[in-house]
A and B are shown apart, each in its own frame.
Chain A
């Protein structure tokens, strides 16, 4: 207490003859020391929060500044014609998409010449500027054979280096001539930008697409792995919630207190601390090698992550069951409810907000997990695209968001590094919305007593 908070006339200094003043108003050495140490402690706390905030800002800034380029892409808007003969010829070859690329670059070359572009260029330069348009063109004509022989407008991705030039990652100064891009190509790029052929647009294929080969960063997208993560989370939710809640209700409300249940409780706590990669090894041995479930499939990923999430859910469920006051149970039992009725009609609804929060946090944790997926084949080049249906969503190979980010970060083309950061932004958006959902649910169902 300081002098200011006490009224001055409230007390008198006791009449004592000792050397030390005993007044509450006069701060003695000890009080000063205690006050100072409290001030210091508060300063430490503020410093700790400040440091945390600082790192959060740095992290958010670096993620956003590195990841934003992944959400834009450079496209060439061009119109050209593929004839029936060219189509038949391309379809008869082994490397069909390449054949379309040859047709495309030749068409471009003539178009640019007609447009009277003043910069010298050759067919190879066009190939270096355009990404891998073959599969886009082939898909279109396979789906729309009636468009053959007519001019069709295409929006085709530029190569990753041109993309880097457009978003400022590469400048004329740090480009060295290579077979991927030559300095002279940039003159052509500049002319094409001026004439509106090359534009920067929002990168929808990044949101909706699947992974692409290492030489085609422009075609890579995170959409398919979002779907993979979604199916995994379905498995986790529908297995770990009922199993976790049933286990905790039994342990908390029905199980007798003995050595055996103590052992189980200790082991659940231990399980929560087991490194996630261990669950991956277990998943490989049990689900793939013993139960013969398919490799790289979300069902196996989901099962492995269920094992990982269960302890979290059990622990949080038990905590929220414990937090329900015993008077509620006693009242229910007192009016003649059976133990099960007391639990399901009264205790469980009151514990629900806590259980839901625990479950969502557990799911969010599972959503960001990569290590266990390494061993069951979900990390790597998994570019099958979207599943055909519900069953195929569980059974067909797919990647998951964190696995996809990990794979991109390991690729040599820097454009994939940008994609990895962009993927982190998408993952964080999912995690944030799950946490917000947890908060909303808790607010909504919370009861006070």
Chain B
């Protein structure tokens, strides 16, 4: 019967493709991680493919934590070579890596990214924020008249008379994003300390760690919405809600100035200049991590890292800066460390 022949032929074909697949070596660099680094990595990947004889690397998104988790799954062709991260790798992750045999990790800092607070271009006049205002608007418990109470504020104008008289609707990055961590540390925690809420909590008998955790919490009554997707999702929310204020990367904002207007933070307007001088308070370094064990096994891996950090690419005149990355003044040190294949201690 022809049918049975077809079945067995297909089975054979499947078995043989599976076998071929196992035997075939991967020839492209495989990258995953932060959606903040993704645009830069995709620019570099395209240019790397165009300017060298190596195939174009594959860059996946998913968030810093998800990327580092996959990075730490082990060594071998079926694991990724590079993890993009918008924050430093954590001790816990280094440990998880080591348990799976990923011991030699090279850390590469590619530059800095600013986090900006933007709202609809024609919406209410959100033009200047301070960390204290954000803390008071978003924390579940705030300091009112010397006592820690459940957050009573529903409008920005109640938080601070200088802000517009509209409902609080904040769209902040979800917890799997590295951006969230920076937002918590540089805005919420700072605001918590400056408003005196942290001191009040510690006076009330909380340990410093507990008070810090309480400072990082955000209210859960719907005034603050976690966005787990990309900035485009935040933009869509802001588009449909004129009162919304969103947290964006500087590069994303600069690409969408026809729809968004940005607010200053502590009276400093975000720009590549104010971020590179450190004046603008909410910025963070961007990284990628390279599995040293894959150098020499996956063709083009070291070349990719070198290409990424070359002056022509990541320098102030390169395409990354053109897109919105604040270039790292210590790029030369990074280049030297890749050249020497220095790993983290």
Report which A residues bind B (CB closer than 8 A). 93-98, 134-135, 138, 170, 174-176, 178-180, 212-216, 238-239, 242-243, 246, 288-289, 291-297, 299, 340, 344, 377, 379-385, 391, 394-397, 409-414, 417
Contact = CB atoms under 8 A, between A and B. Distances in A.
A213 B256 contact: no
B7 interface: yes
Q: Identify the interface centre among B30, B41, B58: most chain A CB within 10 Å of its CB.
A: B58
B21 A296 contact: no
A72 to B, nearest CB: 21
Contacts, number: 157
B60 A242 contact: no
29 contacts: A94-B307, A98-B312, A134-B50, A135-B50, A138-B50, A170-B258, A176-B258, A178-B254, A212-B46, A215-B39, A215-B43, A216-B46, A238-B13, A242-B6, A242-B10, A295-B78, A296-B60, A344-B1, A344-B3, A380-B32, A380-B60, A381-B46, A383-B46, A384-B55, A395-B21, A411-B39, A411-B232, A414-B255, A414-B256
Nearest to B249: A412
A289 B100 CA distance: 14
A313 B73 CA distance: 35
Contacts of B230: 410
Interface in B1-29: 1, 3, 6-7, 10, 13-14, 17-18, 20-22, 24, 26, 28
Contacts of B77: 292, 294
Q: Identify the interface centre among B24, B46, B55: most chain A CB within 10 Å of its CB.
A: B46
Q: Identify the interface centre among B32, B38, B73: most chain A CB within 10 Å of its CB.
A: B38
Given A214-B39, A383-B56, A295 B26 contact: yes
Interface of B: 1, 3, 6-7, 10, 13-14, 17-18, 20-22, 24, 26, 28, 30, 32, 35, 38-39, 41-47, 49-51, 55-56, 58-61, 73, 77-78, 80, 229-233, 251-252, 254-258, 307, 310, 312-313, 318-319, 322-323
Contacts of B42: 213-214, 381, 383
Contacts of A239: 10, 14
Given A293-B18, A299-B17, A385-B56, A412 B231 contact: yes
Contacts of B21: 291-294, 297, 299, 395
Given A95-B318, A215-B322, A380-B32, 16 more contacts: A94-B310, A95-B51, A212-B46, A213-B43, A214-B38, A239-B14, A294-B78, A299-B17, A344-B1, A379-B60, A381-B42, A383-B45, A395-B24, A412-B252, A412-B255, A412-B256
| Shortest Cβ-Cβ A-B pairs, 10 listed | A380-B60, A213-B46, A95-B312, A381-B42, A381-B59, A213-B43, A214-B39, A412-B255, A293-B21, A410-B230
Contacts of B46: 212-213, 216, 381, 383
B58 A397 contact: yes
Contacts of A396: 28, 55
B311 to A, nearest CB: 9
Contact of A288 (B7, B78, B255): B78
B186 to A, nearest CB: 22
Contacts of B55: 384, 396
Nearest to A249: B3
B22 A291 contact: yes
B116 to A, nearest CB: 13
Nearest to A127: B322
Contacts of B41: 381
A291 B77 CA distance: 12
A82 to B, nearest CB: 17
B203 to A, nearest CB: 45
A246 B78 contact: no
B78 A214 contact: no
A93 B45 CA distance: 17
Contacts of B231: 412
Contacts of A212: 46
